[in-house]
Structure 1
Amino acid sequence: MVSAIELHGPPHVQRYLETDGEDGFHWQNGTEILILFTKGRKSGEERSHALIFREHNGAYLVVASKGGAEAPPAWFVNLSADPHVEVQIKGDRFPATARVATPDEKPEMWAKMVEVWPDYDEYTKRTDREIPVVVLERD
């Protein structure tokens, strides 16, 4: 069996959900992972994504980087259309509202995310797109 640390995408989400994060919460380079559930803006179907996160003042931060691609990740486009999402951290699944960090908030939040995944800074060099920090606030 492949280590959860090596998993990406749907296999990571599946293992995480099957084990309530026992496999998949701890990921590469000491990062921690949550599962973000969004609603497809066209299909209306639930979508799930394993994302690096950090807790910040009672909320959870994720970065919509897509590795520095010119287009944002689909999950970001979906939550932009409908900010009502669900989040699962280990076995705790809860409703949340997503918003983009304000220009005043972003520097501190970005620094916090780069602490755990320094590649975020590299991703900014690959695109002219502003890479947002998304704040997930528990409802």
Structure 2
Amino acid sequence: MSTVGTLIRRLGHRRWFARAVRLVVPVDRQLGRLTRGRIVALGIAPSLIITTTGRRSGEPRSNPLLYVRDGEALVVTGSNWGQAHHPAWSLNLLADPAATVTLDGTTLPVRGTLVEGAERDRLWQLLLAEWPAYQTYVERSGGRDIRIFRLTPARSADPTRTEGS
């Protein structure tokens, strides 16, 4: 890991860092759009752009997120930088698990699944290895159960296949 990456991971635990990053998210979102997902989260960690459907508006809502890979799935967490409430994108994903992710310039349909139990514990460890500040965010959020989602590639229906074949 680069010196800058190490420094940023240390700063990730600081309350002022989380506040500053929240202010940068709109810029990061725009940068992700302009680069078709090639540069997200200011390049500090593996990042993607998730687009969910607004549960009230029905409009597409895009957000940059850090992720880890677990096989062919992508794993994201609704840490919301340690705020007391869940991020809107996680509420949207619970209401409609169909979403898209833009990753390295490619947009892929995915299905989001809330992970619980032992699988959640296993994936939490993967997330902490990538961004140790997540543990600080749990404490800062007042112990809120931070949601973890597995984003699996959506399988499109085979148009040549008929019912029963």
The reply to whether residue 10 of structure 1 matches residue 26 of structure 2 is yes
Q: How many residues align?
A: 133
Q: CA deviation at 1:23?
A: 2.9
Report the TM-score when normalising by structure 2.
Answer: 0.74
Deviations 1:65-95 (A, max 9, x none): 1122221001001111111111110111011
Query: 53-62 or 127-136, which moves further after superposition?
Result: 127-136
Give the helix-richer structure, 1 or 2: 2
Deviations 1:34-78 (A, max 9, x none): 000011111111000000001111100011011222210010011
Contact 1:40-1:78 within 8 A present in 2 as well? yes
Tell me, in whole angstroms, the C-alpha distance in 2 between the residues paired with 1:13 and 1:93. Answer: 15
Q: Which runs of 5+ in 2 are unaligned?
A: 1-7, 9-20, 155-165
Deviations 1:86-128 (A, max 9, x none): 1110111011110111212011111111111111001111223
Q: Which runs of 5+ in 1 are unaligned?
A: none
The reply to whether residue 137 of structure 1 matches residue 137 of structure 2 is no
Letter of the 2:131 counterpart: W
Tell me, in whole angstroms, the C-alpha distance in 2 between the residues paired with 1:26 and 1:49. Answer: 13
Counterpart mapping for 1:11-26 below 5 A = 11-24=27-40
Query: 68-77 or 19-28, which moves further after superposition?
Result: 19-28
Instruction: Give 1 or 2 for the bigger CA radius of gyration.
Output: 2
C-alpha RMSD of the superposition: 1.9
Tell me, in whole angstroms, the C-alpha distance in 1 between the residues paired with 2:37 and 2:52. Answer: 19
Contact 1:37-1:85 within 8 A present in 2 as well? yes
The reply to whether residue 113 of structure 1 matches residue 127 of structure 2 is yes
- Aligned residue for 1:78? 92
Report the TM-score when normalising by structure 1.
Answer: 0.87
Counterpart mapping for 1:10-89 below 5 A = 10-24=26-40, 27-28=43-44, 31-89=45-103
Identity %: 32
